[in-house]
Amino acid sequence: MCFANGLEPGAGPGLIFKTLPIAFGQMEAGTLVGTAFFILLSFAAWTSAISLIEPAVAWLVENKNVNRLYASVWVGIATWAFGLGTVFSFNIWSDKTWSIPYLFKNFSFFDTLDYLTSNIMLPMGGLFIAIFAAWLMRENSSRDELNTDDWIYKVWRILLRYVTPVAVIIVFLKAISAI
């Protein structure tokens, strides 16, 4: 669909607002289907946003004795304000760039967040989860959760302990152009 309409296929998530409207426009009852799709997409975004701010809200409630409603409002406002930086990257901050030595140079605020989350946080999160599940989690807990044959569990555990960390580190070093 991208090629048929002269759109760049590597444009990322923004394609949803370029390609799908064209597709819905060519469908029978496309206006109705498109409207329903984007309403459901908005619900998906809201529910994801709520689940993402919940850890910060819970931390404020549990550790700082802040009222839950107050914590939710303030975390929501802070998240919204921070999110404005990504919006501004495409207009009033489009000429401003950020640099982190040895990682990237001249990235917009949006590109900086995209780079950090995709290339740093995601591999590191995977590495830490693998380390936790393979080395710190009790064996009987992981065995109960997986509920597999003994030999499958042993293979899984060996892969998770020795192969996965090396593979994730290689992916991470490749992502930051260290190799």
Q: State the pLDDT confidence band at 2, using cuts at 50, 70 and 90.
A: low
By the 8 A CB rule, do 111 and 89 touch?
A: yes
Nearest CA to 52 out of 104, 121, 115, 101 is that of: 121
Per DSSP bridges, beta strands 98-100 and 104-107 are antiparallel
- Residue 5: its pLDDT value, please? 64
End of a domain among 39, 71, 88?
Answer: 88
Same domain, 84 and 102: no
Residue ending a domain, choose from 55, 88, 121: 88
132 and 169 in one domain?
yes
> pTM for the complete prediction?
0.67
Section 86-94 average pLDDT: 90
Q: Is there a single domain that holds both residue 110 and residue 131? A: yes
Q: 88 is written with which tokens? A: 């501004």
How many domains does one find in the chain? 2
Check whether 156 has a pLDDT greater than 80: yes
- pLDDT of res. 110: 87
In angstroms, the CA 39 to CA 47 distance is: 13
Same structural domain, 54 and 131: no
Which is higher by pLDDT, 22 or 11? 22
Q: Show the tokens assigned to 71.
A: 């914590």
**CA terminus-to-terminus distance, the chain:** 35
Domain boundary residue, one of 88, 122, 142? 88
Do 73 and 99 fall within a single domain? Answer: no
The span from the CA of 97 to the CA of 119, in Å, is 18
Higher pLDDT: 7 or 136? It is 136
Asked if 78 and 136 sit in the same domain, the reply is: no
Alpha carbon distance 28, 171 (integer Å): 44
Position 169 pLDDT exceeds 70: yes
Is 71 found in the same domain as 126? no
Residue 168's domain spans which residues? Answer: 94-179
pLDDT tens per residue across span 126-148: 999 999 999 999 999 999 999 99
